[in-house]
Amino acid sequence: MIKYNLTCKNNHSFESWFSDSKEFERLKRKNLIECIFCHSKKVDKSIMAPGVLNTKTHNIKKYSNELNELKKFKKDLQNIRKFVENNFEYVEKNFAKKVREVYYDKKSKKNIYGSTTESEREELKEEGIDLLSIPWIEKDN
């Protein structure tokens, strides 16, 4: 069932129930819908239905909430990046090699960061070296 707010050509507005939107079109084509006040058959769906407006406002609010969540999340990622850059040594694409050096040399306690390929990461994982991968976000955009 679907409820429509209907308006006739004399600006009477009223509500009516239909089994679906096709049912409304069908009855309208057959002139079976008439105004409950003046019995005019010039009746149409009202576009200013309060239900429609509420739904839209609700969606906008929900969207802006999600946008704020994303902004907060982005800020977190930027902070993580800053932390890593300040406390870790950047080894670029030698990461897989360097991380092994750190891992197997017990004296060395260097914090390093860099990039690996998917297969390098798999190999390191098999050797028991667990990596944390962080989405690397641009500082300004």
Contact residues for Zn ion, defined by CB under 5 A:
8, 10, 12, 35, 37-38, 40
**Hunting for tokens 């079109």 — which residue is that?**
25
3-state SS, residue 4: strand
3-state SS, residue 81: helix
Pairing between β-strand 89-92 and β-strand 112-114 as defined by DSSP bridges: parallel
User: Residue 8 or 96: which CB sits closer to Zn ion?
Assistant: 8
Cβ partners under 8 Å of residue 80, min gap 6: 134
> Nearest distance from residue 13's CB to Zn ion, in Å?
9
User: Residue 32 or 132: which CB sits closer to Zn ion?
Assistant: 32
> Nearest distance from residue 39's CB to Zn ion, in Å?
7
Q: What is the rounded CA–CA span in Å between residue 125 and residue 103? A: 12
User: Residue 8 or 99: which CB sits closer to Zn ion?
Assistant: 8
Q: How many residues does the chain have?
A: 141
> Nearest distance from residue 49's CB to Zn ion, in Å?
17
> Nearest distance from residue 1's CB to Zn ion, in Å?
23
User: Residue 38 or 60: which CB sits closer to Zn ion?
Assistant: 38
